[in-house]
Amino acid sequence: MTAERRLYLLRHGEAANSKPDADRPLTAPGRMQIDTVAAGLMERGFPRPRLIAVSPYRRARESASVFVRHLTSETEQPQLLTSETLVPNSGRYALGAWLESLPSDQWPVLLVGHQPLLGELLAWLTDRPELSATVSTASFHAVDFGVLARGCGQLAWQVYP
């Protein structure tokens, strides 16, 4: 029997409408959105991620930075890494292969990224296409699964700013 794994998905906060896309920073309300979600999660005592993988896009990196500040009181800080598999249109197959390669001691994992990728992954894992649209700005989703395959995951909960 395969052990359950928990995957967290965090979409970046509201970003400025500037170009190029990869350089768009968070807006002040975007930072506040991430602060609100992170503070709420910490108050609930959610199981902390051991690994935080972040898109190289500026708004995702800034969102991860705001989120991680809420973990500073913890004795064990999660590993933080940047991954090209989290850019907006990289595809869930590449992301899935990367997730499958992670050792068991890296879980739970938090992905900080973008639509449509995070929505596609959530919909595919749960086999609930309607969930793709729920991945709104600064939303946080927890998915439990044993096998990384279509329909093998269950949405545990969601948090919105």
Mean pLDDT along residues 7-32:
96
Cα–Cα distance for residue pair 26/60, rounded to 1 Å: 8
pLDDT digits (tens, 9 = 90+) for 71-99: 866 567 788 999 999 998 888 889 999 99
Q: Which of the pair, 113 or 19, is modelled with greater confidence?
A: 113
Query: What DSSP state is assigned to residue 89?
Result: T
pLDDT value at 3 more than 70: no
Quickly state the pLDDT bin for 133 (edges 50, 70, 90): very high
Question: 142 to each of 15, 31, 126, how far by Cα in Å?
Answer: 23, 21, 11
Cα–Cα distance for residue pair 152/98, rounded to 1 Å: 17
* CB of 36 closer than 8 Å to CB of 65: no
pLDDT on residue 35:
97
pLDDT digits (tens, 9 = 90+) for 29-83: 999 999 999 999 998 888 889 999 999 999 999 999 999 998 866 567 788 999 9
pLDDT on residue 161:
93
pLDDT on residue 6:
95
Domain count, the chain: 1
Q: For residue 73, give both structure tokens.
A: 């009181």
* Pairing of the two strands 79-82 and 140-145: unpaired
Which residues span the domain enclosing 44?
5-159
pLDDT on residue 75:
63
The CATH number linked to 73 is: 3.40.50.1240
* CB of 116 closer than 8 Å to CB of 11: no
Percent residues over pLDDT 90 in the chain: 77
pLDDT value at 1 more than 50: no
Least confident range from 11-15, 16-20, 114-118, 123-127: namely 16-20
